[in-house]
Amino acid sequence: LLPTPEDCGRVVADAVAGSVLAALARGGPVVLGLATGSSPLLAYRELLRRHAEEGLDLTGVQAFLLDEYVGLPAGHPESYREVIRRELTDALGLDPAVVHGPDGAAPDPLRAAREYEAQLRAAGSVAVQVLGIGANGHLGFNEPGSSLASRTRLKTLTEQTRQDNARFFGDDVAAVPRHVITQGLGTILDADHLVLVATGEHKADAVAAAVEGPVTASCPGSVLQLHPHVTVVVDEAAGSRLS
């Protein structure tokens, strides 16, 4: 629990850089799991600052996204592949070829989901997975009701999530895709280290339910309680309903 979102960004950047650099030092392939959305942006900016000013070097990392919209053409500015390149990986000096995401433009999204799961497994274990949480407790795009053991698959977004994300589509809910491909909760739990970041009052209920409530599919974020190495980073507002 930290005073401000900026403090959260620094602590998340510490956790990510720490886990990735330790994995790079051990040798072998290193996989970094990335979330999109607003929550990790300050952490990503901090990683970029360290890259530019302090020589933080993540060369050798393979980056894998949590999820992707279905139906946006490849290269659409709000597709998560494009967002993460723009916000993080290009400026970190990572080649687009090492930045992977589900293929939301594939003619057969069911197959694209299975292929992404296989690609992720073949890459080795995820050293650190950055996560945000939805106001309804979703993790990745595993909306409430998702199986705790789920693998990467096609999902339908809830109306609330589409409304929450309309801000990225000119406040036009109709422009927000209805379907997504998301890593499953079981897939997310396979990562070595999970780092959840949440800021703002609107996340307070979801954070309390995920951290202190029962482990249940009605709050997908509660699966974090099943993992042995989780770092939850919240500001005062998002942590305000923790007991």
Q: Is 35 in the site for ligand F6R (CB under 6 A)?
A: yes
Smaller CB separation from ligand F6R, 2 or 21:
2
Residue count at the site for ligand F6R (CB under 6 A)?
A: 14
Smallest gap, in angstroms, from Cβ of residue 231 to ligand F6R?
15
Residue number with the smallest Cβ distance to ligand F6R: 132
Smallest gap, in angstroms, from Cβ of residue 228 to ligand F6R?
22
Chain CA centroid to CA 72, Å: 19
Site string for ligand F6R, 85-114 (x = CB under 6 A): ------------------------------
Point out which residues pair with 126 in neighbouring strands. Answer: 31
Figure out which of the listed residues 39, 89, 129, 187 binds ligand F6R, where binding follows CB under 6 A: 39
Q: Which stretch binds ligand F6R (CB under 6 A): 10-18, 93-101, 132-140, 223-231?
A: 132-140
Smallest gap, in angstroms, from Cβ of residue 55 to ligand F6R?
28
Figure out which of the listed residues 38, 119, 125, 240 binds ligand F6R, where binding follows CB under 6 A: 38
| Of residues 134-153, those binding ligand F6R (CB under 6 A) | 134, 138-141
Q: Is 9 in the site for ligand F6R (CB under 6 A)?
A: no
Smallest gap, in angstroms, from Cβ of residue 96 to ligand F6R?
18
Contact 136, 144 (CB under 8 A): yes
Q: At what angle do helices 41-54 and 5-26 cross, to 10 degrees?
A: 60
Smallest gap, in angstroms, from Cβ of residue 38 to ligand F6R?
4
Q: Distance between CA atoms of 226 and 177, rounded to whole angstroms?
A: 31
Q: Is 37 in the site for ligand F6R (CB under 6 A)?
A: yes
Torsion of CA 67, 69, 72, 75, to 10 degrees: -20
Q: Distance between CA atoms of 6 and 61, rounded to whole angstroms?
A: 25
In Å, what is the CA distance from 85 to each residue of 6, 48, 105, 156, 204?
Answer: 22, 12, 17, 25, 29
Figure out which of the listed residues 19, 64, 67, 103 binds ligand F6R, where binding follows CB under 6 A: 67
Q: Which residues contact 92 (CB under 8 A, 6 or more apart)?
A: 47, 48, 51, 58
Q: Which residues contact 106 (CB under 8 A, 6 or more apart)?
A: 112
In order, the DSSP letters of 149-196 are T--SEEEEPPHHHHHHHGGGGTT-GGGS-SEEEE--HHHHHTSS-EEE
Query: Which residues contribute to the site for ligand F6R (CB under 6 A)?
Result: 35-39, 66-67, 132-134, 138-141
